[in-house]
Homo-oligomer: A and B are copies of this chain.
Amino acid sequence: MKILVIGAAGMVGRKLVAALLKTGQVGGREIAGLTLADVVEPSPVTASIPITRVATDLSAQGAAAALIADRPDIIFHLAAIVSGEAEADFDKGYRINLDGTRYLLEAIRQAGLQHSYKPRLVFTSSIAVFGEPLPEVIGDTQQHTPLTSYGTQKAIGELLLADYSRRGFLDGVGIRLPTIVVRPGKPNKAASGFFSGILREPLAGMEAILPVAEDVRHWFASPRAAVGFLLHAAEMDTDALGARRNLTMPGLAATVGEEIAALERVAGPKATALIRREPDETIIRIVAGWPKAFDARRASALGFAGDADFDEIIRIHIEDELGGKIG
């Protein structure tokens, strides 16, 4: 079985590739070859199976057709211009997130019109398809009312995925990922950065800034849970989905205060003492409009499983990123 990962150089993409190479199979079928694509050439990986690494622009003429030329059985489409950039550069966001996705779907359809071809396509959507006003707990039939161009593009991607699946051109599963914590690496300027920062920096013995109040509630998953969602989406029986191909993943609803309490349980008061409260009105305003919690019962019933609690999310970071040690 051949697998294509588009967006393989990103954080989730790299962890997905590592997980695929570790088990060597998806749904009991052996992986015979893996193509890693991204806008920059993905880093080399050590593997016993053939690995192809491709730098490509999904919005360029013929790029999608070239990517699927060897007819991968499973395609993970994780590539996207992120929220802030899609908002700052309207054309680029629509070109990559809408046109790029559509070119991929259309290349698959065209290949299927010529020969029998109907791959599983796993598409990462986002809770950014939801925008305020929202209920405290968002159910599985909440309408999509994005308040960013990124969220709009993801919502359109979901609609296209469902229609192409309904028409039988491909076998799509769209998963709305929660906010990923603990995101490894350096602090960044994303408005959501502090959700990871207040855990990651103290766990590394460094100070972190908390710009919002402790009662701010949001929806989370660890990188390991996110990879688990992707793998389950690749393996699951899609007959159970019917025509509704897109699912809110079962994240974990938690307040910032609950994050900090978990940090104290796992790493002690010397870690939480490194969190400095510095309210930022801009971030407070942005975050106020974000989803607080979901009732993701549909995905849970379909076998998707998230993190048990925030202690587990922190322990996953310590195991996967810090070699088991707190700095």
Q: When A159-B152, A160-B152 are in contact, do A145 and B243 touch as well, CB less than 8 Å?
A: yes
Q: Which residues of A from 147 to 191 have beta carbons under 8 Å from B?
A: 147, 149, 152, 155-156, 159-160, 162-163, 166-167
Chain A 215-248 interface 0/1 with B at a Cβ cutoff of 8 Å (1 = within):
0000000000000000000000000000110000
Does A142 sit at the interface, judged by CB under 8 A? yes
Does A211 sit at the interface, judged by CB under 8 A? no
Does A325 sit at the interface, judged by CB under 8 A? no
Let me know if B155 and A159 touch, CB within 8 A.
Answer: yes
Q: Which residues of A from 108 to 162 have beta carbons under 8 Å from B?
A: 131, 141-147, 149, 152, 155-156, 159-160, 162
Let me know if A144 and B145 touch, CB within 8 A.
Answer: no
A160 to B243, CA, bound (A): 23
- Measured CB to CB, the nearest residue on chain B to A87 is B167
Nearest-Cβ distance from residue A248 to partner chain B, whole angstroms: 11
A146 to B163, CA, bound (A): 8
Q: When A90-B167, A155-B159, A243-B131 are in contact, do A142 and B143 touch as well, CB less than 8 Å?
A: yes
Let me know if A244 and B144 touch, CB within 8 A.
Answer: no
Count A-side interface residues using an 8 Å CB cutoff.
21
Let me know if B141 and A142 touch, CB within 8 A.
Answer: yes
- As for how many copies of this chain the complex holds, the number is 2
Contact of A162 among B152, B162, B166 (CB under 8 A): B152
Q: Which residues of A from 63 to 96 have beta carbons under 8 Å from B?
A: 90
Q: What residues of chain B lie closer than 8 Å to A167, measured between beta carbons?
A: 90, 149
Q: What residues of chain B lie closer than 8 Å to A141, measured between beta carbons?
A: 142-143
Q: When A131-B243, A156-B156, A243-B131 are in contact, do A163 and B143 touch as well, CB less than 8 Å?
A: no
Let me know if B131 and A147 touch, CB within 8 A.
Answer: no
A152 to B243, CA, bound (A): 12
A159 to B156, CA, bound (A): 7
Nearest-Cβ distance from residue A91 to partner chain B, whole angstroms: 9
Q: When A152-B159, A159-B152 are in contact, do A244 and B145 touch as well, CB less than 8 Å?
A: yes
Q: What residues of chain B lie closer than 8 Å to A142, measured between beta carbons?
A: 141, 143
A143 to B141, CA, bound (A): 5
Let me know if A146 and B159 touch, CB within 8 A.
Answer: yes
A166 to B146, CA, bound (A): 10
28 A-B pairs whose Cβ atoms sit less than 8 Å apart in the complex: A90-B167, A131-B243, A141-B142, A141-B143, A142-B143, A143-B143, A143-B144, A144-B144, A144-B159, A145-B162, A145-B243, A145-B244, A146-B159, A146-B162, A146-B163, A147-B166, A147-B243, A149-B163, A149-B167, A152-B159, A152-B160, A152-B162, A152-B163, A155-B159, A156-B156, A156-B159, A156-B160, A159-B159
Show the binding face of A for B, using Cβ within 8 Å.
Answer: 90, 131, 141-147, 149, 152, 155-156, 159-160, 162-163, 166-167, 243-244
| Further pairs besides A149-B163, A152-B162: 8, Cβ < 8 Å | A90-B167, A131-B243, A142-B143, A145-B244, A147-B243, A149-B167, A156-B156, A159-B159
